[in-house]
Amino acid sequence: MHASLNKTKVYLDTSVISYLEQTDASEQMQITRDVWETFKSGKYDIYISDVVIQELAKCSDDKKKAALFSHLNEIDYKLVNVTKEMFAFAEQIIDFGILKKRSFDDCQHIAAAIISNCDFIVSWNFKHIVNVNTIKGIKILTTTEGYKDILIYSPEAFQTEKEDENEYNYY
């Protein structure tokens, strides 16, 4: 599927996909599965990078790995191969002190999303990505380097209201 000009572009990091089968975190797993239904609907243009594929391939549980790739096959997405420009931007994230070198894969996720002109990065990685310091640092870096701002949120921000949910009356 080709990216549409008017759809919101959403980059998913590996954590979003892995939480589809994260049985030891049932609440986050359910939120992710609910949001996945929205992603399956085609409401957003979904982007993932080859870093996501590489990280999923490292899953040591073969049954879980197969399930994760099966989920990935349920959605239309654009696969972004990390380019020299993205690699260099990931290095800048480290050089600016936003993240440490040991978090280079996370830097590559952020760089792939920014250089692919995505509107959002969606992640469950609160330590390195969905983090106030990272978000502030990335805003400064994108502004300094002339890239479009990117919004960074957890999957919860993409939940949609269900028909059977109670309506609250605030009057």
The domains located in the chain, with CATH, are 9-158 (3.40.50.1010)
- The whole-angstrom separation of Cα 164 and Cα 58 is 39
Structure tokens at 15: 């954590």
Each residue's pLDDT expressed in tens, for the chain with a length of 171 residues: 455 568 999 999 999 999 999 999 999 999 999 999 999 999 999 999 999 999 999 999 999 999 999 999 999 999 999 999 999 999 999 999 999 999 999 999 999 999 999 999 999 999 999 999 999 999 999 999 999 999 999 999 999 866 545 555 444
Structure tokens at 155: 């999957």
- The whole-angstrom separation of Cα 52 and Cα 84 is 17
- Residues across the chain: 171
- The whole-angstrom separation of Cα 49 and Cα 64 is 20
Q: Which residues pair with 49 in a beta bridge?
A: 80
Determine contact, residues 121/109, Cβ cutoff 8 Å: yes
